[in-house]
A and B are shown apart, each in its own frame.
Chain A
C-alpha cells in the first residue's frame, strides 16, 4: 500500500536507538495501564480490549508490514473461537490446551487460505480473502458442532494446567494479560527481525525484492500464517473470557471492525492497533445506548481516517514526537 502513498509516514523509519527508547516507554505505559485499570474499569471489558488488541496487532502484521489487505480475517478469529469452545466444553480439555487447539486450527486455516490467496495481489487478494471468509461463515452456520445461530454456549473456563480455577476473575485476567503481552512481544520480534525486513521490502517494491533473490511468495504465505495464528490465539482466548463462541465472530463485519481498529490506531505502527482496539471497544461499550448510531459513528471514523487521518492516532503521535511508535 505504501507504494502509491504520496506522503511520508513513519512506516519506513528504522529501529534506531531513539525509536527503541520511545517504544520501550510506550510498552511500559501499556503494561502499567492494563495492570492498574482493572481496579477502576470492569475487568471483563478490559479482557475484551486485550483480545481485540491482539487480533488487531496480528492483522496489522499482514497489512502494515506486509502490505496485504485481508478482508476476511474474522475467519481465523472466529474459527479458533469455535474450536477452543468445543474443545473446552465437549472434549473437556484444560483451558491452555483448548487455546492451543484453537490457535492450531486457525494456523491450519491460514496455511490453506494463504496458499490460495497469495497467488493474486491487491484488490483481487482482498476479494479472495472475502470469498474464503464467506465460505467459512456459511460452513459455521451449517456445521452441527458450531450450534448455528445459538453458537457454543456455557463454555467452561476450566482450571489452568489443572490447578488454577479460571472462574476467578483475577486468574482469568492474569491469563489474558499474559497471552496478550506474549503475543504482542512475538509480533514485535517478527517485525524487527530479518524476516520482517524482507516483508517490508516486499511491501515497498515486490519486483525489486524478487530480483534480489527472495522467494516472495514463501515470505507472504509465512506472514499470512503468522497473522492468522495470532488472530486465532486472540479468538480462542476471547471464547474463554466470554464463555461463548458465536457467528458474530466469523461474520464479515468483524473483518471490517479489525480493519477499522488498525486504521484508526495507525497502520504499520507498533502500538497503533492496541490503541485502536481500546477506542473502538470502549466506544461500543459506553455508547451502546445510541444503538445503531454506533455503526454510523464507526463509519464516520473510517471516512475521517481515510480522508484526513491516514496515519492513525499513533502514527500522528509518532510524527509529532518525531519517533516511531
Chain B
C-alpha cells in the first residue's frame, strides 16, 4: 500500500532537458483517471498507469527534450468524484490531458469539463458511443471500443452464425439500456428475433431468478447487457444452472480479458464477445504485451490498457509535431496524423473523435484447449475497421460536416 501511495503521489519526471517547445509550464502533464479499487480496477486501474508510463518511455521523451509527468487518481466510479478530480487537476495541478476514465457517466462529465477548459481527453475506458455522437467534442478522442461497436460486432456476428433468437439480461441503467437497444436493433436488422428481456438492478448479487426466465424463454442466445461484477455473477450463476450445458449460449456484450481471467475458463468457456485488442493476436501485440506483463505482475494487458498505451503514444507524437500542448490543437493534430503502434497497428482518428481499428469476434476456449497461461481466446471473425464502428454520418455529431 505504501508503494501505491508513493507511486500515485509521486510524479514521474522523465527528463531534465530544457524544453524547446511552447509547452504550458514547460512540461506535458498527463492524468490517468480511472477506477483503482472496484469493479473496473482490473480492467484499467494500475495497469493503465503502467501503460501510460510505457508509452511515454517508448516515445523517447527524454531524447526529444520533452518533459512528461504522469499522475493518477481513483474516481471510484462516481461522476461527482471524477469530475471534482478532473476540475482540480485542470484548475490547480496544471494537468494537460486526461486519459482512460471508465464508466460512461464519469466520462461524460470529464468530456464536458475538458471542453470548457480547452484541454485534451483521451477516453479509453468508457463505453458510451455518445462521446463521438451527441456529446462529441473537439477536445476528445475515443479509443478502443464503444457500445455501437460492441452491439454490432457481437450481435451481427452471432446472428449470422445461427444465433437468431435472443433473450436480454440487461443492467437497469443508461449504459445497459443503450447496449440492449443497440444490440436489439442489430439482431432485428439481421433477421433475428428477440424473445424477451429482463432488467435487473445494477450490482445484483443473485441472478437465479433472471436466468430462470432466460432459460424458459428457450432463446438460443442470452445477451448479457451488463458489465463488471454483474457480468461475472451472471456468467458464474449461468454455469451453476447448467445454461450452456443445456444448449443455450451466452453472449457477453461487454467482457474483458480481466473478467475471463477472474472467472476461469471452466465457467467462461464458450462465451462470445467482441474486442479490439488481444495480447496474443500477432507478433507485434505479443511483444508489446510481454513487455507490459513484465511491468505489471505478469498480467497481460486488457483492451483498455492497450488503448491507454496507444492513445498516450499518439498524443505525445502530436504534441511533438505541434510543439504545443494546447488541448484543442493537439486533438486536431491527432486527427491529422495517422496512427501506428504495436498494440493496434495502423489506423486513424475520424473527425468525430472516434479512433477506428478492426474488431474481432472472440470465443473463450475450453480449458482443454488452453495451452499456456492467459491463452484464453480464439478468433471467430474479424471485422474491418471501417465497418466496425458507427458510420460518421449517423452519429449526430456537430463536428462532422
Contact = CB atoms under 8 A, between A and B. Distances in A.
Contacts of B293: none
Nearest to B103: A149
Given A151-B105, A154-B112, A289-B5, A242 B172 contact: no
Interface residues of A, number: 26
Contact of B8 (A42, A48, A246, A289): A289
Interface stretch (B75-83, B94-102, B215-223, B383-391): B75-83
Nearest to B81: A248
A246 B78 contact: yes
Interface string B66-91: 00000001100011110111011001
B88 A147 contact: no
B105 A150 contact: yes
A44 B84 contact: yes
B235 interface: no
Interface string A243-277: 11010110000000000000000000000000000
B5 A242 contact: no
Contacts of B104: 150
A249 to B, nearest CB: 8
B87 A44 contact: yes
A244 B109 contact: yes
A138 B37 CA distance: 25
Contacts of A292: 37
B198 interface: no
A242 B108 contact: no
B246 interface: no
A246 B84 CA distance: 13
B172 A141 contact: yes
B5 A42 contact: no
B91 A42 contact: yes
A282 interface: no
A249 B91 CA distance: 24
A153 interface: yes
Contacts of A154: 108-109, 112
B175 interface: yes
Interface string A269-312: 00000000000000000001111110000000000000000000
Interface string A128-160: 000000000010011000011111011000000
Contacts of B173: 141, 148-150
A246 B82 CA distance: 12
B174 interface: yes
B109 A291 contact: no
A153 B79 contact: yes
Contacts of B9: 289
B175 to A, nearest CB: 7
B88 A42 contact: yes
B8 A244 contact: no
A244 B109 CA distance: 8
Given A151-B79, A291-B36, A141 B201 contact: yes
Contacts of B79: 150-151, 153, 244, 246, 248
A249 B81 CA distance: 11
Contacts of A248: 78-81
Interface string B329-351: 00000000000000000000000
Nearest to A149: B173
B16 interface: no
Contacts of A153: 79, 105, 108-109, 112
User: How many B residues touch the partner, as a band?
Assistant: 20 to 34
Nearest to A44: B87
Contacts of B202: 141, 149
Contacts of A291: 4, 36-37, 74
Interface string B154-173: 00000000000000000011
B74 A288 contact: yes
A292 B81 CA distance: 13
Given A42-B92, A154-B112, A288 B73 contact: yes
Interface string B98-131: 0000001100110010000000000000000000
A154 B73 CA distance: 22
Contacts of B201: 138, 141
Nearest to B93: A42
B283 to A, nearest CB: 38
Contacts of B85: 288
Nearest to B104: A150
A289 B71 CA distance: 11
Contacts of A242: 80, 83-84
Nearest to A142: B172
Nearest to A249: B80
- Which of A141, A142, A149, A292 has the largest count of B CB atoms less than 10 A from its CB? A149
A150 B9 CA distance: 28
Contacts of A48: 84
Nearest to B5: A289
B137 to A, nearest CB: 11
Interface string B1-39: 100110011000000000000000000000000001100
Nearest to B74: A291
A149 B109 contact: no
Contacts of A243: 83
Smallest CB-CB A-B distances: 10 pairs: A150-B105, A149-B173, A148-B173, A154-B112, A246-B79, A148-B174, A151-B79, A246-B80, A289-B8, A153-B109
Interface of A: 42, 44-45, 48, 138, 141-142, 147-151, 153-154, 242-244, 246, 248-249, 288-293
Interface of B: 1, 4-5, 8-9, 36-37, 73-74, 78-81, 83-85, 87-88, 91-92, 104-105, 108-109, 112, 172-175, 201-202
Given A150-B173, A154-B112, A244-B80, 15 more contacts: A42-B91, A44-B91, A48-B84, A138-B201, A141-B172, A148-B173, A150-B79, A153-B79, A153-B109, A242-B80, A244-B79, A246-B79, A288-B74, A291-B36, A293-B1
